[in-house]
Amino acid sequence: MKGFCERAVASDFSSKTLTDTSNRSPTSLTSDPGISDSKFPKASLWSSFFASAFSVFETHSEPSGSENKASHSDSPAYEVHAKQNGWTAAVKKAVAIGSMRRLQERVLGSTRTGISSSTSDIWLLGVCYRISQESSGDADTSNGVPAFERDFSSRILMTYRKGFDAIEDSKYTSDVNWGCMLRSSQMLAAQALLFHRLGRSWRKPLQKPLDREYIEILHYFGDSEASPFSIHNLLQAGKAYDLAAGSWMGPYAMCRTWETLARFQRVVTDLEDQPLPMAIYIVSGDEDGERGGAPVLCIEDASRHCCEFSRGQADWTPILLLVPLVLGLEEVNPRYIPLLRATFMFPQSLGILGGKPGASTYIVGVQDEKAFFLDPHDTQPVVNISRDDVEADTSSYHCNIIRHISLDSIDPSLAIGFYCRDKDDFDDFCLRASKLADESNGAPLFTVAQKHNLSKPVSHSESSVSTDGLQHDDSFGVVAMSDAEGHAHEDEWQLL
């Protein structure tokens, strides 16, 4: 069953990737005038049709660096590939040009770019940008679109890469078509490191030399086993959750994988040299909380994680909070949309691992009903940056194209991230989270408690449990999982 779900999702995504990557522009901020705002009620049906059709050809392609974007179809390398893989290359080329490409975009839809004419405030990872011309006395807000654009383009982007060393014993030298959740999670972790080491106000320098701390952060995410947070090491750490090269994974498994990798790095590295110098806490409550109830952030647990990270040397340390959620079946329950939007107003916000069904992105901001995101579905050559190379070319780690989707169209399986620098920052987060839960009309994203309560948590069941009593995750599949301590629950089902 697991294999069937993975193949179905991979089929849906392979067709989307061809559409997305054919419209990339890596150089400037843009608003695409050719994108229509009209809705297509039959898009889901046609999307399935095209996904199935294109997946037949994707199945026979090589899972390696030879996979090129459709927009590269005129290059000599691509022509060689076309001779070796006639049907695959022919279909890709047809999708990339002419009426076939336009038809696919019309049916599957295109990502919208740029900033709309709305004068509503934009919230980007805890910072408010006033778009209206009316002055505000709030000293904590920043004015104008240019400031937002610079902040957005300073966020670290992780995308598909091709040409890295093969992952363990596999033949995979690229993560094209399957690594978007891994890349999205790398982006969130990279922002946490930026906030920790350089502060929220940091912006990418316009001239070199670059900040040494910034370069070291990029080095940590290189595509080799030598980089602590590489895709290679994430897959190794995620084996307990069935992560493997070429396979799909959901937000819950991804969060637990980061917890496992951080624990491993803590063991093999001196405390003062930790690549992730913070505790990590997966806010998922008890077993019921991981199966449909609202997760519970337990303050005592957070304190324990900090103590364990510091090896008993401190009562509190910086802490990364990850909250995996399933907020519906095929779509997010509308009652949660205002709550998701409100989390971007928290100063501790690290955004959301989420996106369209079968295609993970990193959502970093909101304006009205729009969600701004960084998209990992662009394929770039591998780049491994030395930790002291302050003259390095880091352009492939940033994006000037502002993309957005509707908040109500994101996948209901997602994870929210927060970074708290110290105990005061954590206390402020808990106050904000408790207030948000109180205003949720009985359906909070998560709750805050001083200690564990044996009573059953508030349920998300009306969103994530069907009439037959089984919980489902429409987009990432239902997978038998093991918990982080290695105790198998092979006879139970875990929502990703």
What whole-number distance in Å separates Cα of residue 480 and Cα of residue 472?
12
Residue 359's beta-bridge partner residues?
Answer: 356
Identify whether the C-beta of residue 133 lies closer than 8 Å to the C-beta of residue 122: no
Residue 467: helix, strand or coil by DSSP? coil
Structure tokens at 202: 């940091």
| Alpha helices (H) in 110-205, listed in sequence order | 145-154, 180-198
Q: Distance of CA 245 to CAs 233, 242, 260, 420, Å?
A: 11, 10, 17, 32
- Please classify residue 65 by burial: count the beta carbons closer than 10 Å to its beta carbon, then call 0-12 exposed, 13-18 middle and 19+ buried: middle
3-state secondary structure of 92: helix
Q: How many CB atoms lie within 10 A of CB 26?
A: 12
**Dihedral over alpha carbons 341, 406, 403, 362 (to 10 degrees):** 50
Tokens of residue 444, six digits? 């909070």
The set of residues, in sequence order, having a beta carbon less than 8 Å from that of 456 and lying 6+ positions away, is 288, 293
The answer for residues whose C-beta is within 8 angstroms of residue 87's C-beta and 6 or more apart is 57, 60
Q: Measured between alpha carbons, how far apart are the two ends of the chain, in Å? A: 14
Element (H, E) at 298: strand 296-298
DSSP alpha helices (H): ranges in 282-422? 299-309, 337-343
Cα angle at 400 between 33 and 224, to 5 degrees?
Answer: 130
Instruction: Return the H-helix or E-strand segment holding 296.
Output: strand 296-298
Residue positions annotated with a catalytic role: 180, 375, 377
